[in-house]
Amino acid sequence: MRLDKFIGHATDLSRVQIHVLIKQGAITVNSVTAQKGAQQVGESDLITLNGEPVLLAKNRYLMLHKPSGYVCANSDSEHPTVLDLIDEPNKQNLQIAGRLDIDTTGLVLITDDGQWNHRVTSPRSQCKKVYRATTVAPMTAETVALFAAGIQLHGEKKLTEPAHLDVIDEHMALVTISEGKYHQVKRMFAATGNRVVTLHRERIGEIHLDPSLPSGKYRALTQTEIETI
């Protein structure tokens, strides 16, 4: 890999800034002052910037407790995004694995591992998502049966995959789905003549939202959590 590309991946520095630092003699490769950004480097090379080692970051796997009012996008001209809550280098390389609506709160997974992201979001993975929903009208045994059978959503050709509705009280339930259609939970309730008031995602696959994680904060996933996907 080119030296300037290596440093660019490992830091927030632009290529122009890197070339200036090379000219200033601030970058070394194996204790030798670098002369060109095009110099080829490998994993075994020791690269320093102002005397400090520069290391390529490993893939990042983050759990974010999303607050209301943030959109799940890398950039948005009208609203703050979930990446605005992330303090990480090169965060433009991060991907949002499973998006939530602007007013939906709870668990969001963020990574720069594209294959892992695909396993989270691909319908083939059947990665179940669990939401806590509150509704305007009471939920009945008929609602539970409709969710279990699959619901015909407006504009969709096929029924949704069977969903599990665990009613906590008549206005609150845990909803488990294995798909990720646009506004799916809200649309499913709307199809039964009900309306969602609040929606909070508690789990994706076997990854549960950390109860100690405040709204708007994030943490790295544990290796065990990563390997469940």
pLDDT in tens, 13-36: 889 999 999 999 999 999 999 999
- Is the separation of the CB atoms in 192 and 151 below 8 Å? yes
- Is the separation of the CB atoms in 132 and 202 below 8 Å? yes
Nearest to 173 by CA among 152, 148, 149: 148
Is residue 88 located within the same domain as residue 149?
no
Question: How many angstroms separate the CA atoms of 17 and 62, rounded?
Answer: 29
101 annotated active-site: yes
Q: Which residue has the tokens 């095009």?
A: 38
Is residue 63 located within the same domain as residue 175?
no
Is residue 138 located within the same domain as residue 198?
yes
Query: What would the mean pLDDT of 89-101 be, rounded to a whole number?
Result: 89
**Residue range of the domain that includes 158:** 128-204
- Asked whether the predicted pLDDT for residue 202 surpasses 90, the reply is yes
Q: Which residue has the tokens 């995602």?
A: 201
CA 157 to chain centre: 28
Is residue 142 located within the same domain as residue 163?
yes
Catalytic, out of 45, 76, 101, 210: 101
The CATH number given to whatever domain includes residue 187 is 3.30.70.1560
Query: What would the mean pLDDT of 71-98 be, rounded to a whole number?
Result: 91
